[in-house]
Amino acid sequence: MMAREVKRAKLAQKYSAKRAQLKADGNFVALSRLPRNSNPNRMHNRCKLTGRPRGYMRQFGISRITFREMALQGLIPGLKKASW
């Protein structure tokens, strides 16, 4: 799944200029012929360690479960696990 996200990111970057030009011209027929995965909306944030798509924390780049495990082990500086 993570390799698929990398592929989508590359396609989105490759077609970004062409996509912007077609949108500006209003040529939606040609826009619909571009690869679906070239749309940046199809990219999904994933945990850098596990690849989990849900519960993603942007500030840390990891999922909530990984964040909790790392906090429990004391790997996140400045964070002290209380009662959760």
State the number of CA atoms in the 13 A half-sphere of 45 facing the CB.
11
Reported as a pLDDT band with limits 50, 70 and 90, residue 49 is very high
Reported as a pLDDT band with limits 50, 70 and 90, residue 84 is low
Q: Which domains does the chain have, with CATH numbers?
A: 1-44 (no CATH), 45-79 (4.10.830.10)
Predicted pLDDT of residue 47: 94
Instruction: Read off the pLDDT of residues 13-29 as tens digits, 9 standing for 90 and up.
Output: 999 999 999 999 999 99
* pTM of the complete model: 0.69
